[in-house]
Structure formats: C-alpha cells, structure tokens
Structure 1
Amino acid sequence: MLNKKRLKVLDANLLYLIGAILFWTLGAYVQRRSLQSGLIITQYVIILLPPIIYIKAKKLNIKETLKLNKISFKHGFLVACITILTYPAAVFANTLLMTIMSLIGNLNIPQLPTATSSSEYLILMFVISISAGICEEVFFRGFILSGYERMGKKRAIILSAVLFGFFHFNLYNLMGPIVLGLVFGYLVVETNSIFAGMIGHIVNNGFAVTLGFILNLVSELLPEMDTASEAAVELPTSIAMLSSTIVFGVISAVTVLIAYQLVKIIKKDRVELNSKVCSEETKVEVKGVEFTPLIFTGILFIIIAIVQIKEIISLG
C-alpha cells in the first residue's frame, strides 16, 4: 500500500490554494459580469477542471483517486433521505454562529438567488444544485479527501469538511457547509463512492432552491405574508436569530437521530467490505511543511472575516 501511487496531503493543500486564487480572481471577475454564467464558469473551470488536470499530470488513476465507483439504488436513495434529514442541522449550525455574531451588531446576511418562475427555477437547479453537486464533490470529496486519507479516514473527513466550509469565504455560511461536509465525506468513505457525495450535495442544494421557489410562490399568492415578514425584521437581530437557532436545534435533534438510523442500514450492508478496507488502511506520517499552502488561504479568510465583522459592528 505504501508504494501505491496516490495523492499526498501537499497535493490537496496546493490544489486548495490554487482553487482559492482562481476563485478570487477569475471567479470574482466572471460573476461580476454575469452571476449565472459566472457561477457556471466558476464550477466547471475553476473547481472541476483543476483536480482533473492535476490527477492527469501526476499520472494517477482517476477512477481510484476520485472514487468513481458505482453506488446501489438503495444506498443512493438512503443518501438522499439522510441529506434531507441533516438539512436542519446545517441550518442550525449556521444560525448558531450568526446568533453569536448578532451580539456585536446587526447582520447583513447575503441573499441567495431564488426563482420566481419555472424557467428561473430550472436554471438555478442546474447551476446551484446539479453543477455545484458534481464539481464541488470532485474537488472536495474526490481530490481533497483522497489527499488527506494518508492521515487516516476520520481525519480526512474532518479536515476536508473544514476546508469545504472555509472555501465559501463567508462567516454567514461557514458552519453549515462544515456540517454537510462531514456528512458527505462520511457517506463517500462509507460507500467508497463519490456519487454518494454528489447525490447528497445535489439533493441539499436542490432542496434549498426548491424551498426558496415555493416561498416566493406563496408570498405572491398571500401578499399579507410580506407584511408579516417586515414586522419580523423589526425584531432585534439577536432575538430573531436566537429564536431561529432554538427552532432548528429542536428539529435537527429529531431528524439527525432518524438520519443516523438510515446510516446504520448502509453500514450494515457494507460491513464486510468496510472491515476489509479498515484492515488495509495505513497511515503515513505527514510533515508540517505540507500544510504551508493553507497559510495563504487562511490569511485570505481572516481578512474577509475581519471585513464582515467590521460591517456587523458598523451596522450595530
């Protein structure tokens, strides 16, 4: 196993740095010109293409590296159900951090694009759900996770999830992606298939897009809801956020328990294969210098976080 050619931690961190640089240069530029086409370019050119080129350049087996293995219909369906059930937990994690942030001032939460018509809904489903689900999973649960597996699968899942959260470069949407990254990473490792992560990611984002579309339709049919929403905004930010945190905390406590039962079904189905994989797993000592590329992306995130915190205080 030690002689088998595979990705290293340094490879994962280098690509992460490359992705961050491209995201804040080319990605920012194309998204300013046109948000929808810019997001498509960001996903396929900045996020999907680099790991494929990197793998080809190192002459690695792309199928083994990215875990392009089949997943059964049963497990695919369970993954979709687990994702829906963990959605409240991701929202809870985000609102919890935002509740803490609201203690220092008023929040300026970025609004995600939502569909107001069927055509917009289909476009957003392709851009935000399908494209992001494929491209980001190849980058994080394919390339990054594989690079970190030298440190052990548990550490690989945790570290790749944290990097996934930080890659959003947004305090308002930091903890949710980390929670989802943990879920997707675990499911990919458990099923040994990147398609588990893709299914989960597509379902999660698709659920968010669909929810936004439905809320827009309901607000058009019931205009009085807009008045209620305006009244809700008048509540102190910290109280509004705390209320949301409590609600989603209670909901997620129930749904996560149900999701765990579904996870146990997948584990039971694959217990023989998993035991074989675990017996073959070999951890390799990783040198601290391999994490050097993360210093630069960390600095970038800190700068963005400081800007957002200053904005919150100024709105206070």
Structure 2
Amino acid sequence: MRSKSLPTINEVNILFLVLGLVLLIFGSMAQRRDLYTGVLITEYIFILAPNIIYLKMRGYSLKNVLGLNPITARQIIQIFFIMVFAYPMAVFLNYIVLVMVNSVSPAMPIGVPVPTNLIDYLIGLIVIAVTPGICEEVMFRGTMQSAYIRMGEKQAILISALLFGMFHFNLLNLLGPLFLGIVLGVIRYKTNSLYGSILGHTINNGIALTLGFVLTGLTENIQEITEQAPLIPEGLQLIITLVMLGSWALFSFVVLYLLLKNLPGPKDNSRVEHTMETVDSTWELEEMETDSYKISWAPIVVIAGIFIFLNYRYFFLI
C-alpha cells in the first residue's frame, strides 16, 4: 500500500529543486521587505506546507515518512547537550570558510538581527529558532532522509545534510549547516523520531540567538577594553582566533562524539523496535525500486550549479 511506503529518491529530488527555486525567487523577496515576516512566510508556506501537501497528495503516511514517534525525557536531555557541543564545531567550520574567502575577496557573514530587549529576544526564538526547527526538519530529516534511506542509513544522513547545507545558498554558511545536518540526521535515525531532530535544530538556533543577545549587552565594555589594549597585527589576530576556535571545536567534537555514541539507537530502544521493524520491512520490499528505475541527479546538479554561480558572483566578482 502507498500509505506504508516511502517517497522515491527521484520524487524528493524534484521537490528539492522546485522548493529551492521558490525559495530563491519568492523567499528572498519576502525577507527583503521584513526579515521576520519573510522567514515565517518562507518556512511555513514555501517549505513546510509543500512537503506536507505533497506527502498527503501522494498518499504517503506522515507518521512513517517523518518518523512522528515520541522521544523520552532522557533523550531530550541528551539532545540538549549534543547540540551544545555541536555548535562550536559548526562555528569553527564556517569561520574556516570565511577566512578562505577573505583571502580572495572581502566578505562578511550575513546574520539575523540581534535582539536588543527581552521581547525581541522571545519573538526571535519563535521565528529564528522554533520555526526553522520545525519546517526545515520536516523537509530534510523527514522527507529527504526517509527517501534516501534506500541507499543506506549513512548515505541518507550525509546526502540530506549536504542538501540542507546547499539550501542556505550561502558559501559562508555551508559547512556549518552541513555538519549540523549530519548531527541532526544521526539524532533522527537513532531516536527514530523527527521530534528529536526538531528539538536539536531549535536548540542550535536558540544558542546562536542567545549568544548574540547576551554579547550585545557586553559590546560597550568590549569596545573599551579593545581601545585600551595594544594593537595586534591582523595576521596574528587571525592565527590566535583560529587556534582558540580550533581548540574549542576539537574539545567539543570529542565530547559530541561520545554523546552521540551514547544516544540510544533503534536496537537499544525497545519502545521503537516494532516501528523500526515495520519500516525496515517496507525498505526491503522497496529496495528493488532502486534497481528498476534510474536515479536522476539532474535536480541536485541544477541547485548545486545555482549555488556555485550565486556565490561566485557575490564573493568573487565584486
């Protein structure tokens, strides 16, 4: 029955292409007028709604495809610490790209507005943390990863993470999301629940927003200290920053690895054992599909080409 099956790779590739083009054309227009309103429109109307509508119209079971299974209190706590230690690594990876791009062309990462008061901060949590956590996880760790599971769980996690990184269409924000996509993909697989990756995505964005909010209040003090401090050559500043971020990231990565390893997997969690057996049997019945049709990578190549063109034009032709 269709309701017990998963989307094909070709189907989700086409969906990825269509939504990528919609995001570029209409999402950017909406966000230029008002960032927060534009983000809500982009996430709920251009990402979440098409995924849900598509799955329902094709007759797929949302529970099976998205993995709408409960998670335990222990897993919630573990996911929190996993994302706390994943964040430094993502920052370090993005910083490496920034340094490399700056060696060729001046570039600065484009971030979201930093809240200056508690009300703006709470609104920011809803718009910047919770909203992408729900909408983007439905698409990438839900629809995309479920389809690519036919190629194996590791391949599904890696490919969906790569597509997640490209979907940001920003070279300076590619490696960080790609790494986080892998972490979220592992969480999705090991908990057998999209709620786990939604929680992780929300926590990551919440950390970034919270750090910006807190550091804004310290800006004046930092400026005073900087003005009184002796001048450090730019090259030395770069080295110091890389060493500090790298050390922080390396330590965090080791802890992250141990936390992910300790996160109960499908075989360790009796609560989801029956669900996994059901889904596994579905994959076995559909494994022959990958042999009966040729996977078309054209939609992915098109988006990759657009990604390369836009970033080359923005960073290297200015």
Q: TM-score if structure 2 supplies the norm length?
A: 0.88
Q: Which amino acid aligns with 2:309?
A: I
Tell me the equivalent position of 1:305. Answer: 311
Percent of aligned positions that are identical:
32
Tell me the equivalent position of 2:296. Answer: 290
CA distance in 2, matches of 1:304, 1:237: 29
Q: Number of aligned pairs?
A: 308
Tell me the equivalent position of 1:17. Answer: 17
In structure 2, list runs of 5 or more residues that go unmatched.
none
Q: In angstroms, what is the RMSD of aligned CA positions?
A: 2.7
1:79-107 per-position Cα deviation (integer Å, ceiling 9, x unaligned): 11101011111111111122222221322
Secondary structure, counterpart of 1:290 in structure 2: coil
CA distance in 2, matches of 1:145, 1:191: 14
- CA pair 50-3 structure 1, distance change in 2 beyond 3 A: closer
CA distance in 1, matches of 2:165, 2:57: 27
Judge conservation of contact 1:70–1:193 (CA < 8 Å) in 2.
yes
Tell me the equivalent position of 1:164. Answer: 164
Tell me the equivalent position of 1:52. Answer: 52
In structure 1, list runs of 5 or more residues that go unmatched.
none
CA distance in 2, matches of 1:291, 1:165: 17
- CA pair 150-107 structure 1, distance change in 2 beyond 3 A: same
Map 1:154-303 → 2, pairs under 5 A = 154-219=154-219, 223-227=220-224, 240-267=237-264, 270-271=267-268, 277=276, 282=284, 283-284=287-288, 285=290, 289-303=295-309
1:259-282 per-position Cα deviation (integer Å, ceiling 9, x unaligned): 222223323784265998597564
Judge conservation of contact 1:191–1:270 (CA < 8 Å) in 2.
no
Judge conservation of contact 1:96–1:242 (CA < 8 Å) in 2.
no
CA distance in 2, matches of 1:275, 1:59: 25
1:111 shift after superposition = 3.2
- Of stretches 59-68 and 29-38 in structure 1, the one that deviates more from structure 2 is 29-38
Tell me the equivalent position of 2:92. Answer: 92
1:112 shift after superposition = 2.5
- CA pair 4-114 structure 1, distance change in 2 beyond 3 A: same
Q: Which amino acid aligns with 1:36?
A: Y
Judge conservation of contact 2:70–2:195 (CA < 8 Å) in 1.
yes
- CA pair 266-309 structure 1, distance change in 2 beyond 3 A: same
Judge conservation of contact 1:102–1:238 (CA < 8 Å) in 2.
no
CA distance in 2, matches of 1:151, 1:2: 20
Map 1:29-48 → 2, pairs under 5 A = 29-48=29-48
Secondary structure, counterpart of 2:112 in structure 1: coil
- Of stretches 234-243 and 39-48 in structure 1, the one that deviates more from structure 2 is 234-243
Tell me the equivalent position of 1:73. Answer: 73
Tell me the equivalent position of 1:26. Answer: 26
Q: Which amino acid aligns with 1:64?
A: N
1:303 shift after superposition = 1.2
Secondary structure, counterpart of 2:204 in structure 1: helix
1:252-302 per-position Cα deviation (integer Å, ceiling 9, x unaligned): 211222222222332378426599859756455365542121122122101
CA distance in 1, matches of 2:294, 2:251: 40
1:156 shift after superposition = 0.3
Secondary structure, counterpart of 2:12 in structure 1: helix
Q: Which amino acid aligns with 2:182?
A: L
Point out which structure has higher relative CO (alpha carbons under 8 A, 6+ apart): 1
